[in-house]
Amino acid sequence: MRIFRTHHDIPADARGASAAVGNFDGVHRGHQHVLDLARRDAPLGVVTFEPHPRQVFAPGGAPFRLMSSEARSNRLAKLGVDLLFELPFPAIAQLTAEVFMADVLANGLGLSHVVTGADFRFGKGRAGDVVALRDGGERLGFDVTIADLLGGDAPVSSTAIRSALTEGRPRDAAELLGHWHRIEGPVLHGAKRGRDLGYPTANLSVDGLHLPKLGVYAVLVDVLEGPKAGAYHGVSSLGVRPMFGENTPNIETFLFDFDGDLYDRHISVGLVDYLRPELNFDGLPALIAQMKADADRAKAMLNAL
């Protein structure tokens, strides 16, 4: 998948795409439906925005994103997207609806077909809607398809997915997503306590992301690069490590049957089952015993998939 972060100077072989347009946070089943409607005899494209518009319009709000831009790119690539146009939203937000259609979609990206959801709004002040988009497409030379919301009376939405994750229901979230909810990024250097306890962990930041229910999860892990690249089972602790006086959430993952160094390598951790809440323990022996019990339970759950 080729990634462009501007609508200027797009090469000829990246023009003419049939593109889905939207934020695609989570790349859930509703987004996948929009993508499927964009599949035709042309390169499959996605036009999205970074940062998410909500981060621009409500910068002081609680973290809400289901995935980072990296995770979104990885998921779209898995779904067969050829061209990802990840446009800078602060600049795009200043354009009128007409300029967005003409200068970005038609002339800039050279799209042949645009697909978006029925609730899509665009242009400065959110002045443009799907009626304006259809009219603009007719004048500017690109086809327009409007996708109905998926799910009927209970539409698939990022809000419903966040609720499932907040309540510790990762399988319900996965049903709406069409895939496991994943946290992705480079493995960070931590305090290395897990190594000393016999359970070395790969630590990821969750900064800027909606936090699932804090606690311990059975997980599926993809190591995305390096000599140990591949798929593994594991157990993750998502939280603030109360026993050690930490207060910044992160996710620490112990990979089963793995031996190696993952520092700075990119991994993807998929939440499968919620095992228990985050706890404080009376000393290291109790903590180690619980870690073993968590790992044994996670292995049994994951082996049953």
Per-residue model confidence (pLDDT) at position 141: 97
pLDDT bucket at 280, cuts 50 / 70 / 90: confident
Beta strand 250-255 pairing with 202-205: antiparallel
Per-residue model confidence (pLDDT) at position 282: 84
pTM for this entry: 0.91
Contact (CB, 8 A) for 278 and 243: no
Per-residue model confidence (pLDDT) at position 241: 65
pLDDT at 7 over 80: yes
- Per DSSP, what are the bridge partners of residue 223? 230, 267
Mean pLDDT over 96-121 rounds to: 97
Tally DSSP H helices, then E strands, for the chain.
Answer: 10, 12
| N residues, the chain | 305
Contact (CB, 8 A) for 281 and 216: no
pLDDT at 109 over 80: yes
> Cα angle at 170 between 167 and 174, to 5 degrees?
130
pLDDT at 243 over 50: no
Residue 243 — φ and ψ, nearest 5°?
-65, -25
pLDDT at 219 over 50: yes
Coil, helix or strand at residue 5? coil
Q: What are the C-alpha distances in Å from 274 to residues 11, 27, 203, 236?
A: 46, 22, 18, 10
Mean pLDDT over 131-140 rounds to: 97
Per-residue model confidence (pLDDT) at position 156: 87
pLDDT at 184 over 50: yes
Within 10 Å of residue 180's Cβ, how many Cβ atoms? 16
Per-residue model confidence (pLDDT) at position 247: 64
204's CB contacts (< 8 A; 6+ apart) are 183, 184, 185, 186, 187, 188, 250, 251, 253, 267, 269
Per-residue model confidence (pLDDT) at position 189: 85
Per-residue model confidence (pLDDT) at position 240: 83
Share of the chain above pLDDT 90, in %: 83
Q: What are the C-alpha distances in Å from 103 to residues 8, 90, 97, 113, 287?
A: 9, 16, 10, 15, 59
Per-residue model confidence (pLDDT) at position 150: 75
Within 10 Å of residue 24's Cβ, how many Cβ atoms? 28
Round the average pLDDT of the chain to a whole number and report it. Answer: 93
Residue 286 — φ and ψ, nearest 5°?
-65, -40
Lowest mean pLDDT among 115-119, 153-157, 190-194: 190-194
pLDDT bucket at 134, cuts 50 / 70 / 90: very high
pLDDT one-digit tens code per residue, 249-277 = 999 999 999 998 899 999 999 999 999 99
Rounded Cα distance, 98 and 81, in Å: 27
Rounded Cα distance, 133 and 120, in Å: 9
> Cα angle at 240 between 239 and 241, to 5 degrees?
100
Q: If residue 62 lies in a helix (H) or strand (E), which one and from where to where?
A: none
Packing angle of the helix pair 170-177, 158-166 (nearest 10 deg): 160
pLDDT bucket at 27, cuts 50 / 70 / 90: very high
Location of structure tokens 């997207």: 81
Q: Tell me the Ramachandran region of residue 273: left when phi exceeds 0, alpha when psi lies from -120 to 50, beta otherwise.
A: beta
Within 10 Å of residue 206's Cβ, how many Cβ atoms? 18
